[in-house]
Amino acid sequence: MQTSLAQGIRDTPAGREAAAVIGKCVHCGFCLATCPTYRVLGDELDSPRGRIYLMKQVLEGKPATATTQRHLDRCLTCRACETTCPSGVEYHALLDTGRAAVEAQVGRPPRERLLRAALRAVTRRRRLFSLLAALGRVFSVALPASLRRQLIPPSSSSQRKLGSMDSGFRRNDRVARVLLLQGCVQPGLRPNINASATRVLARAGVETIEVPAAGCCGALRFHLGAHADGLDDMRALIDAWWPQVEAGVEAIVITASGCGAQVRDYGRLLRHDPAYAERAARVSALARDLAEVVEAHSGTLLASAPAPSTTKVAFQSPCTLQHGQRVTGAVELLLKAAGYELVPVRDGHLCCGSAGTYSITQPELSRRLRADKLAALEAGRPDVIVSANIGCITHLAAGTERPVRHWIELLDERLGP
């Protein structure tokens, strides 16, 4: 696709990247078939191809409008279009630039500004969010059932004490050492996830290190339009991790695929920052989804195959796992090897509607997408639904009576003490 960007952006790093992305798009329309919003709304401007056209117009100098902003806001950034695209269009990179350009021109109503400011302020602060989540559980009887299901983890007779971080690790002559991202909202909503990850990795001889000073990965503020603040969060996380990186950790393990996709993008996002470009690239290169690390040690962990389980499991593969990180099949293989029966899930490539804060900023569309996803997940009558991302877990839990958990919790329980 031919483009001629406006003078103000043409010779900037963001402009050159945007021009390269637009130039790759051949308008073939393959992306329409996998775009969740286009499938629901049927509007060309709510498809990747349509949004590329809108962003191209703005970057070429045409004034942005509230309509332009609305179509861009509706994008989930699920990146299914990137998986489908035969031309290798890095749509999410263009979306970062396009949304920023539109945001600079088009204001938002006061209520919308307040909501976004609150989300940026609260969700990235681990202690504050955990406190609010704890208060929600205390007063859960007064909350709607859907919100209770988000705040209160599903019970399990074999689940360890919630939040226990005792890994049972015993130092050997040769062990792998990895960093484990704590996250922002996950510790307050599902503290057992990282605890289970720590125990499972310990059984494989992998020592996990959590750095208390390590904060938000930057995704929350960055994707809510506060790019400079989001980049500051990324720099702060790199600084917190860097002593351990220099000490030789073998990987940075992330249990929330949304955070993993963001950290893996640090090298691109900070490549023009002379003080951080090299370190950001190093951190991105070390980033691994938990499934990748567990799969690499599955021979040790599952040397003796557990007896078949009577539990039927439906796996929801988050967009940030399959499209953002291109990790596919690993979780399913691990659960099968652990003895679980996996039920088939149709349209597994489609988004559940969580998408970070999308379920809050675009509630109607998000609920429609969740209903479709839950219908697909529950068609095989599973006993439990599992995912690999905290946002997807809590979003799905709000719409079903079935327990929704992280897959590592099930693996932890099957492997035993």
Instruction: Report whether 397 contacts 404 (CB < 8 A).
Output: yes
pLDDT tens for 213-248 read 888 999 999 998 889 999 999 999 999 999 999 999
d(CA 281, CA 264): 9
- pTM of the complete model beyond 0.85: yes
Q: Minimum mean pLDDT among 187-191, 294-298, 402-406: which range? A: 187-191
Residue 38 half-sphere exposure toward CB, CA atoms < 13 A: 19
What residues contact residue 27 under an 8 Å CB cut-off, 6+ apart?
1, 49
CA distance 311 to 295: 21
Identify the H or E element spanning 296: helix 290-296
Tokens of 104: 């600079």
Pick from 31-35, 247-251, 306-310: least confident: 306-310
217 in Cβ contact with 185 (< 8 Å) = no
Percent of the chain residues past pLDDT 70, beyond the cut? 91
pLDDT at 150: 72
Among the residue ranges 43-47, 70-74, 147-151, 159-163, the one predicted with the least confidence is: 159-163
pLDDT, tens digit, 9 for 90 and up, residues 324-359:
999 999 999 999 999 999 999 999 999 999 999 999
**Tokens coding 138:** 């205390």
The torsion angles phi and psi of 69, rounded to 5 degrees, stand at -60, -40
Distance from C-alpha of 393 to C-alpha of 391, rounded to nearest angstrom: 5
> What long-range pairs does 106-112 form, CB within 8 A, spacing at least 24?
106/64, 106/65, 106/66, 106/68, 106/69, 108/69, 112/361
Q: Distance between CA atoms of 130 and 170, rounded to whole angstroms?
A: 30
In 60-165, which residue ranges form alpha helices assigned H by DSSP? 66-73, 80-84, 91-105, 110-122, 126-138, 145-151
